[in-house]
Structure 1
Amino acid sequence: MSDAVDRSAEAAEVRAFWQRLGLPGLIDVHTHFMPQNVLDKVWAYFDAAGPLVDRPWPITYRLAEDQRVQCLRDFGVRAFTAMLYPHKAGMAAWLNAWAAGFAARTPDCLHTATFFPEPGAPAYVARAIEDGARVFKAHVQVGGYDPTDRLLDEVWGLLAETGTPVVTHCGSGPVPGKYTGAGPIGEVLARHPRLAVVVAHLGLPEYTDFLDLAERYPHVRLDTTIAFTDFVERDTPFPPAELPRLVGLQDRVLLGSDFPSIPYRYVHQLEALDRLGLGEEWLRAVCHDNAARLFGLADR
């Protein structure tokens, strides 16, 4: 069976999932698009099972950019992101320029931007917001930086003031970093309690700590990226006793996938959420309605 046929069959499965829920499609807040030379390095890192991956991680959707965009459209993902992130100073403004161009030619992509703790960060973040950025990505683990760094204080303040969400990889999965865990980002939230942090991967493996933060700060959200999948549950399972808290936070959990760099089919993320047994109302909120409200997308 060809890859094209496989993708067509999977698209039918994904569409059947959201159609069963009566949704107009999916909104995925955690997908990756970036300059090809950067993506090639990211994929090479995954292929080598680098230290921050720490296990074999085959990439299921190793496709050209236009094919990846079409794949999401075929799945019925009506809005997605271009999560990109610098690992050193001097990269973020260049990445933001690329992301602005990508968003301009890809209208279903939520214009995404990023930053790094460096003297020019407040200026280029403000410029990105002025240019239409609707969501930011902060990768504390890959960047290896302290989110409480005073070079970022004005950046967090700008994002809080404008209500611009920032998807933040601040949990310690798959391996801990110097500044991962709920403590450092919790200090940022104490300074900027209105900051719309979206905790990537539900904060795995510190699920409980990040649920605590979400309950403490009403603007904190959680994304589902790779959580509950067989790939993650094997080593860092979500505590079953915490499932009622996810129901309590129903309006602040968002679908994320990590597409295209995932080691399983996209539909498996949806199946993993479904088998939690939290109900169709919860699934509708998580897979579409919460993000539609956050980003002001048309109601269904």
Structure 2
Amino acid sequence: MASASTLFVVFPLFLGLLIGSSSAQLTTGFYCKSCPSVFKTIQAQVWSAVAKEARMGASVLRLFFHDCFVNGCDASILLDDTPNFIGEKNAAANRNSARGFEVIDAIKTAVEQACPGVVSCADVLAIAARDSVVAFGGPNWDVKLGRRDARTASQAAANSSIPAPTFNLSRLISSFQAQGLSVKDLVALSGGHTIGQARCTSFRSRIYNETNIDTFYATTWQANCPRTSGSGDNNLAPLDMKTPTSFDNHYFKNLINQRGLLHSDQQLFNGGSTDAQVKAYSQDAKTFKADFVAAMIKMGDIKPLTGSNGEIRKNCRKIN
């Protein structure tokens, strides 16, 4: 998730006002009459995909994160490149790592069969992210809906807006504040790393070069991630070694034991301002899950296209 200028740090209130005015048009009952079967349709597809490959739940959740951080939650990440713009799929944070596009395609096809031309790809992604969390035993929540889809995408915006696994705490905070998200939101949303996996390229430097890491933990992953770049780059390791397929608070317990896989993970518990929140979540899973839900809803409110803005794509990969 790449850099955001620290200039944005001074504008969180202004951004919050912008986000609030747009998201006021979103409502949990948006499809009650126009597509009442939308939730069952999407849930069935998500759970089928997770049953085939557990990792897919985390991949879909990550797509939602990476979409919302780039010009708002508008499904721009799903667009393929065109002669008119270079999309976000090959941005640094997404290239060879963002996945789950075929799952979203399958969901959209099923939704179109049930309710043609009604449900946006942006809303499909928001609901699918929620269902992915629930599939791993995570919390449920009512998703606010009514987003429309972008007609363009921006690789440049993705490169500058998505926080990277190399970020220190200061840059993480700045990146989230640029989206109107608080430090509390940062820590809670990072808890999504309780599921999913990362590639060797994302954690190689941490397991070989950093000192704030448990020795046994580092050695364990060195066996699967050679020091030399280009060797084993795509080998995977779970972000939460303890319970990789359960949406729980072990991610935070791991951080306290210096077993954060990514540099950015361990930064949340490294003698800084977020240590207390990490400790609290490590001791109270219920509070973590409640704060995660609140932060997910807040993130889903980032600059949605509503009303006559954008469109309802028939195919999530291309504009109509």
- TM-score, normalized by length of structure 2? 0.25
Larger radius of gyration: 2
Which protein has greater RCO, CA pairs closer than 8 Å, 6+ apart?
A: 2
